Structure formats: structure tokens, C-alpha cells
């Protein structure tokens, strides 16, 4: 016995879905409001806008890639131009 209505009926039935909750620790969520250098900015523009870095790493590889560490982010340069800027995760302060 054929039941042509059974197929469309089964396709229209809502099956219970499975959901997942993504939890990102507070220190790793990032702050979209914190300004950062933009790709293509020059090193002089970064110095002018953000000041001296806390740490400068020596160039590595060819072409030379440099990294400057500022308080809240690191900047990666290829020659004199920004490749990318990455926010540094804030480490939780441990209490004694």
C-alpha cells in the first residue's frame, strides 16, 4: 500500500536539534574597540600613532619579518609595512 503523503509529512516534521555552547574565557574575548595598526601602515605611522614598542624582535627570514610588542597587541612588519596586528590575550591576575 503506497502512501504518497508520508514522504512530505516526514520531511516537514521538526526533529529535535542539537546545540552547543561556545564558551570563551573573559581574558581571550578581545576588545573590538581597542585601536590597532592597519595592514599597509608604515613603521613610522605605527610609531607616531602608538609610540615606541615595549619590545622589538630582530628580523627573521626572507623577506624580513619583524615583530613589535606593544602593551595590548603585537605588530608584524614585512620590510617597512604592517602585515598584521594581533591582540595579546590578557592573563588573569592570580591572587596569593
Does residue 13 lie in a domain region? no
Which residue range(s) make up the domain with 85?
35-89
User: Residue by residue, what is the 3-state secondary structure of the chain?
Assistant: CCCCCHHHHHHHCCCCCCCCCCCCCHHHCCCCCCCCCCCCCEHHHHHHHHCCCCEEEEEECCCCEEEEECCCEEEEEECCEEEEEEECCCCCCCCC
- Residue 35: predicted pLDDT: 87
Does residue 24 lie in a domain region? no
Does residue 44 lie in a domain region? yes
Does residue 61 lie in a domain region? yes
CA–CA gap between residue 53 and residue 36 (Å, rounded): 13
Does residue 66 lie in a domain region? yes
What pTM was computed for the model? 0.60
Does residue 71 lie in a domain region? yes
Q: What would the pLDDT profile of 6-60 be if each residue is shown by its tens digit?
A: 666 666 655 566 777 767 665 555 556 678 999 999 999 999 999 999 999 999 9
Does residue 9 lie in a domain region? no
| Total count of domains within the chain | 1
- Residue 56: predicted pLDDT: 95
Amino acid at each position: 500500500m503506497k502512501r504518497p503523503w508520508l514522504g512530505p509529512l516526514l520531511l516537514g516534521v521538526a526533529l529535535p536539534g542539537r546545540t552547543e555552547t561556545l564558551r570563551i574565557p573573559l581574558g581571550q574575548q578581545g576588545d573590538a574597540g581597542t585601536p590597532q595598526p592597519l595592514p599597509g601602515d608604515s613603521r613610522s605611522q605605527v610609531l607616531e600613532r602608538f609610540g615606541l614598542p615595549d619590545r622589538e624582535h630582530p628580523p627573521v627570514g626572507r623577506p624580513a619579518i619583524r615583530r613589535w610588542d606593544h602593551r595590548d597587541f603585537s605588530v608584524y612588519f614585512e620590510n617597512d609595512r604592517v602585515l598584521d596586528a594581533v591582540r595579546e590575550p590578557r592573563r588573569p591576575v592570580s591572587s596569593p
